[in-house]
Chains A and B, each alone.
Chain A
Amino acid sequence: MKVLAAGVVPLLLVLHWKHGAGSPLPITPVNATCVTRHPCHNNLMNQIRNQLAQLNSSANALFILYYTAQGEPFPNNLDKLCGPNVTDFPPFHANGTEKARLVELYRIIAYLGASLGNITRDQKILNPNALSLHSKLNATTDTMRGLLSNVLCRLCSKYHVAHVEVAYGPDTSGKDVFQKKKLGCQLLGKYKQVIAVVAQAF
């Protein structure tokens, strides 16, 4: 089920319209000429690889911080509460072409970015004193924002891809607290699992 959540779209727009980011994805027509707002960095793939490595290295710590902050029985029931059972998570094929991998990476980062936005919002309300968790979530979101921009730049400049269909996870704003906790934990578990594969593939 692909959900283009209303609460997430504005977030994505803001995310893409940040200084230094590429042009907003959904706006560009499919057959339009792909033009980046700013020239892409020379060593873009290296930057992408570094950003992926950075995300990969911090993913487990973020996961642990998250489930610890949710209270018992989360830390002791990770398989059922935080298992990577995320439906509709964008697929990734490590043996694809670079273009295909970049497109899939774009979808994944867009999905994760939106989900992390939801998680950050929920945790600020639910755990206002868990400052280290907030800090880690914000740092991860910032890195993803940069990675998304770089991936878009690469897609646009090398492969002239201007439009990528993306899907987002469920919006948690209307869900009960336990569901927010559980979905967030599952998402971060999935993130930890996926980012390792993706980082390895690049």
Chain B
Amino acid sequence: MSPKTRTDCIAWVLDVFLYLRQPSWMVDSKRMKTTSNFRWLLSAFVLLYLMNQVNSQKKGALHDLKCVTNNLQVWDCSWKPSGASRGAIYEVCIGNRSPCYLLGKTNTKISTLSPGDYEITISPLHDFGSSISKFILNEKNVSFIPDTPEILNLSADFPTSTLHLKWNDKGSVFPHHSNVIWEIKILHKENVEVIKLMTYNTTLNGKDTVHHWSWTSDMPLECATHYVGIRCYIDDPHFSGRKEWSDWSPLKNISRSSDLQSKVFPQDKVILVGSDITFCCVTQEKVISAQIGYTKCPLIHLDGESVAIKIYNISVSENSGTNVVFTTKENIFGTVIFVGYPPDIPQKLNCETHDLKEIICTWDPGRPTALVGPRNTSYTLFESFSGKYIRFKRVEAPTNESYQLFFQVLPNQEIYNFTLNARNPLGQSESAILVNMTEKVYPHTPTSVRVKDVNSTAVTLSWHLPGSFAKIKLLCQIEINKANSIQELRNVTIKGVENSSYLVAVDKLNPYTMYTFRIRCSSETFWKWSKWSNEKQYLTTEATPSKGPDTWREWSSDGKNLIIYWKPLPINEANGKILFYNVSCSSDEKTQSLSEIPDPQHKAEIELDKNDYIISVVAQNSVGSSPPSKIASMEIPNDDLKIEQAVGMGNGILLTWNYDPNMTCDYVIKWCNSSQSEPCLMDWKKVPSNSTETIIESDQFRPGVRYNFFLYGCRNQGYQLLRSVIGYIEELAPIVAPNFTVEDTSADSILVKWEDIPVEELRGFLRGYLFYFEKGERDTSKMKGLESSRSDVKVKNITDISQKTLRIVDLQGKTSYHLVLRAYTDGGMGPEKSMFVVTKENCELNTAIEMLSILKCIVFYYRKREWIKETFYPDIPNPENCKALQFQKSVCEGNSALKTLEMNPCTPNNVEVLETRTTVPKIEDTEIISPVAEHPEEISDAEPENHVVVSYCPPVVEEEIPTPGVDETGGTSQVIYIDVQSMYQPQAKPEEEQETDPVGGAGYKPQMHLPVTSTMEDPAAEDDLDTAAGYRPQANVNTWNLVSPDSPRSTDSNSEVVSFGSPCSINSRQFLIPPKDEDSPKSNGGGWSFTNFFQNKPND
């Protein structure tokens, strides 16, 4: 701006006056009034002052004209005077705006000029040394500096650590709408530490507007005093000059109430999991440490002794919150923070009604918030159509309580729009559902179920179902159960009622049947079934029996009486409790009746002649009688009848027949046990006339039992026997072995004969016999079990069941054979019965050899008799001192060996028989033939007791009753036929018996051992042997039993002792008589003592 100078004293004075009189926009009317009183005085003062200034100012140009505005309406322009023009009066002229005016200062306020350049002329008056200054003024050269804003109010919400700031934008002074930027600073210590600087944008709208601004502090506001200042920047689009920030407002502060107690902040705050948070402890004591839960935290020092800690990513709290504590020397200060989640969106929101009176809305809260008590989620259920809502809030309730709200059904409203709002201190969420409540009926459980009968096949069911269902139909399901029947479900649709009572009829029931009913209901537009009601049992009333009883008849064994049988009616045909039966027999001539036969009795006998009667049986219950069942008394004869065989399937037997159109009524199959006496009837079964087969089943059937089945056809109530079948439900193996004997033997053959097995023991249809034989003696035989696969066992399968004998040929002479016989059915093999038989030898050759040997023996003994006598009997005892024949130990012990040898004449073909009788109890004989199971080991043990020596000469037969190892039910018969000559063959003695022989090491060795002998059996005999130092008998005499030598054959049938064949000549010999048995009555049977062999006189 360039200065221009001009002088006009008069004009200057006038201008001063004019200026002083000009009303200022900043001066109110009251002030004007006061000023006017001193106007003249002031004018004089100003005049004097200006004169002084003019005089004292040096001559020069004005400079630095600056214009600023704070409201865009008035520019405040100021300039710097020249050094000598202080106190001068200026004439200010603005362009061609008139008039110019005088100023006694270096600034002036001018109204906002329109855009463009304006010449400003400032002429110092009365300063002749100064020149007139001229400036070119443009809006662009004007600075816009808004007035300093003023904070109207600063408040704090300590629980939320929030500062609230309020100020006025004074927008009424601005001509245009402008954007305003507010800058707010927050400090902890006044004018020292700015902790936050934020901007806030508003718009000026020509009116004074109070603005609010809030700020939430990271640190609790209680931790330190907070100072707030504000300034602004107005961005007026119409102003082209320089825009600048206003000055900062004076600072305002917020501090917690003065409380001397130490405290930790924030208190009881609820924050989101994962947040960062600052805790502080405002205290006068020195804080030593701080920790959250278990975790120690570094301290941040604040004013004084106050400290803070910063927690990052905080984790979820326990129910009682997370404790944050600050420890001082003497105490612990703390606070509790609750860290959790905002409520999840309610899930599975469902609204239904039990009774159309109340709506139950349930939901799943979703993720737990970890907040309990007063911080727990509260729910509000809002129904938008009605505008009603209900709240759900729990404070002390356990968290596992179900989430449900009850909403009363509104009259005349069926559709409901529910919004469930969940809210907790950390946030809120919501879920909505639109439902037609008539379609969401989940009825209560029906109660008070009652049954009332209508008739024997129909009842009425009534029940109570609370609810207001008048607007809908109900779909109810009735479950009908009866014993031994499948469950039946019936659906009924009934109109809903207000009074909750319902009644339906249930028909198509059976009379006199115990039913169990239960009910459940739903709405017709199905949503959910109610729970089943309690069961209600009810017995329907009786009706007349629907059918007559199933009837049969049999003639008594003497043929005079007719026995009438009938079966009790099944419950579904009896239709009630059968009280009694009426039976009548009528012919053309007469009628006989048996009345009121009480129910448990299902059989009646009536004496009838052989006329044809029609038997009629009627069952009666309390309601009435059944139709009669009729059957003719006489059978229709059938001459062409064959007996057939049949085998069942384990649990029944299938009978088939050809279709016979003549049979018009039905078929009857009756059956009985074949061993049952007349009348033969176990049961019967009727099948329709169009049937050609049936399966007969009965609990009475047993496997292995033979039954007779009779098939009758019915014509005009008369029955004709069509077939007779014997059969088994299941065939089993025979329970016994066939009883077989050896009829004849020769040197090369054996003839075997057997008997039939009784039907009861056969247990199936006999299909044949298996006959096994092989060489072998009893104990040496390898045949513990006879397997046909063994090559040395010969097997004959006899399938002709009528065959009862078998001759085995091509055998070897004088050879022991083991014979086994067993029967078999389709059910399996029966037990074995075995026998040992020795074939005859060729007698002519053997006799010659033996006679020659005997002759040599006689000659030898005769020639050497002196040597023998001297060698073996050097001293002849004094007969006066010894009773040689008494063998009394006390008298002549040790001399028993000195008996002399006495020769007896050889008697060829003489038969010596030794038979044990005393040791075989009678009862054992019985057992021997008993068909009960035995075991081979047991047989071996028993053998010494049972064997019978019959003859010394072949043929000798050992018979052995079924091997128990093969058949557990086989009987036992232990008979041993021993060839006396063979007894002298030493190879028969087993090794172990030789070792245990008590005389094994001293003197004469026995030359044989009877195979059946057990030396251990009789200790008494053992003792005797021990005491005999000299010659001993050649066998264990204890096992030998005396039998009549002339008994060629035992006929004891119980023990099945069989002897056969003629004795042959043999060398003479003696049998040893057991010493102890000398006095036994059995010993008296005959024979001669072995001691006689060495004595000249047998009875000396």
Q: Give the Cβ gap from B425 to chain A, nearest Cβ, in Å.
A: 14
Tell which of A73, A80, A130 touches B323, judged by Cβ atoms closer than 8 Å.
A73
Nearest 6 pairs of A and B residues by beta carbon: A177-B336, A176-B267, A125-B373, A80-B332, A178-B334, A124-B396
CB nearest neighbor in B for A180: B336
Q: Pick from B107-115, B313-321, B728-736, B754-762 the stretch touching chain A.
A: B313-321
Tell which of A73, A127, A176, A178 touches B319, judged by Cβ atoms closer than 8 Å.
A127
Q: B323, A126: Cβ atoms under 8 Å?
A: no
Known: A73-B325, A126-B321. A178 touches B397 (CB 8 A): no
B392-437 residues with Cβ-Cβ distance < 8 A to A are 395-399
Known: A128-B397, A129-B398, A177-B268. A71 touches B320 (CB 8 A): yes
Tell which of A72, A129, A176 touches B268, judged by Cβ atoms closer than 8 Å.
A176
- Is B785 an interface residue when CB atoms closer than 8 A count as contact? no
- Is B89 an interface residue when CB atoms closer than 8 A count as contact? no
Chain B residues near A77 (CB-CB < 8 A): 325, 327, 332
15 contacts between A and B (CB under 8 A): A71-B293, A71-B322, A71-B323, A72-B323, A73-B293, A73-B294, A74-B323, A80-B327, A81-B332, A128-B373, A130-B319, A177-B267, A177-B268, A178-B336, A181-B323
Chain A residues near B319 (CB-CB < 8 A): 126-130
- Is B335 an interface residue when CB atoms closer than 8 A count as contact? yes
- Is A69 an interface residue when CB atoms closer than 8 A count as contact? yes
Chain A residues near B336 (CB-CB < 8 A): 176-178, 181
CB nearest neighbor in A for B330: A80
Chain A residues near B267 (CB-CB < 8 A): 176-178
A119-153: CB near B (< 8 Å → 1, else 0) gives 00000111111110000000000000000000000
- Is A160 an interface residue when CB atoms closer than 8 A count as contact? no
Chain B residues near A126 (CB-CB < 8 A): 319-321, 373
CB nearest neighbor in A for B291: A73
Q: A71, B321: Cβ atoms under 8 Å?
A: yes
- Is A49 an interface residue when CB atoms closer than 8 A count as contact? no
- Is B331 an interface residue when CB atoms closer than 8 A count as contact? yes
Tell which of A73, A128, A178 touches B372, judged by Cβ atoms closer than 8 Å.
A128
Chain B residues near A127 (CB-CB < 8 A): 319-320, 372
A55 to B605, CA, bound (A): 90
Chain A residues near B332 (CB-CB < 8 A): 73, 77, 80-81, 182
CB nearest neighbor in A for B338: A177
Number of CB contacts from chain A to chain B under 8 A: 77
A72 to B296, CA, bound (A): 12
CB nearest neighbor in A for B397: A128
Chain A residues near B372 (CB-CB < 8 A): 127-129
Q: A131, B320: Cβ atoms under 8 Å?
A: no
- Is B990 an interface residue when CB atoms closer than 8 A count as contact? no
A77 to B293, CA, bound (A): 12
A19 to B331, CA, bound (A): 43
B44-85 residues with Cβ-Cβ distance < 8 A to A are none
Known contacts A77-B332, A178-B335; 5 additional CB pairs below 8 A are A80-B330, A128-B398, A129-B399, A177-B321, A178-B336
Chain A residues near B325 (CB-CB < 8 A): 73, 77, 81, 178
Chain B residues near A81 (CB-CB < 8 A): 325, 332
- Is A70 an interface residue when CB atoms closer than 8 A count as contact? yes
A33 to B327, CA, bound (A): 54
A81 to B333, CA, bound (A): 9
A143-185: CB near B (< 8 Å → 1, else 0) gives 0000000000000000000000000000000001110011000
Q: Give the Cβ gap from B370 to chain A, nearest Cβ, in Å.
A: 12
Count B interface residues, CB 8 Å.
Answer: 28
A181 to B335, CA, bound (A): 10
Chain B residues near A71 (CB-CB < 8 A): 293, 318, 320-323
Q: A131, B398: Cβ atoms under 8 Å?
A: yes
A129 to B320, CA, bound (A): 10
Q: Give the Cβ gap from A71 to chain B, nearest Cβ, in Å.
A: 5
Q: Give the Cβ gap from A124 to chain B, nearest Cβ, in Å.
A: 5
A128 to B373, CA, bound (A): 7
CB nearest neighbor in A for B323: A71
Q: A178, B323: Cβ atoms under 8 Å?
A: yes
Tell which of A70, A73, A125 touches B374, judged by Cβ atoms closer than 8 Å.
A125
Q: Give the Cβ gap from A165 to chain B, nearest Cβ, in Å.
A: 29
A9 to B331, CA, bound (A): 31
A178 to B398, CA, bound (A): 22
Chain B residues near A176 (CB-CB < 8 A): 267-268, 335-336
A74 to B294, CA, bound (A): 10
Chain A residues near B224 (CB-CB < 8 A): none
Chain A residues near B321 (CB-CB < 8 A): 71, 126, 177
Q: A182, B334: Cβ atoms under 8 Å?
A: yes
- Is B264 an interface residue when CB atoms closer than 8 A count as contact? yes
A177 to B264, CA, bound (A): 12
Q: A181, B291: Cβ atoms under 8 Å?
A: no
Q: Give the Cβ gap from A88 to chain B, nearest Cβ, in Å.
A: 17
Chain B residues near A73 (CB-CB < 8 A): 291, 293-294, 323, 325, 332
Chain A residues near B291 (CB-CB < 8 A): 73
A130 to B397, CA, bound (A): 11
Q: Give the Cβ gap from B800 to chain A, nearest Cβ, in Å.
A: 93
A130 to B319, CA, bound (A): 9
Chain B residues near A178 (CB-CB < 8 A): 264, 267, 323, 325, 334-336
A126 to B318, CA, bound (A): 10
A73 to B1, CA, bound (A): 77
Q: Give the Cβ gap from A85 to chain B, nearest Cβ, in Å.
A: 9
Q: Give the Cβ gap from A67 to chain B, nearest Cβ, in Å.
A: 11
Chain B residues near A69 (CB-CB < 8 A): 320
Tell which of A128, A129, A130, A181 touches B395, judged by Cβ atoms closer than 8 Å.
A128
Q: A128, B323: Cβ atoms under 8 Å?
A: no
Interface centre among A73, A80, A124 (most CB of B within 10 A): A73
A124 to B374, CA, bound (A): 10
Chain A residues near B320 (CB-CB < 8 A): 69-71, 126-127, 130, 177, 181
B348-404 residues with Cβ-Cβ distance < 8 A to A are 372-374, 395-399
Q: Give the Cβ gap from A80 to chain B, nearest Cβ, in Å.
A: 4
Chain A residues near B334 (CB-CB < 8 A): 178, 182
CB nearest neighbor in B for A72: B293
Q: Give the Cβ gap from A179 to chain B, nearest Cβ, in Å.
A: 9
A64 to B319, CA, bound (A): 17
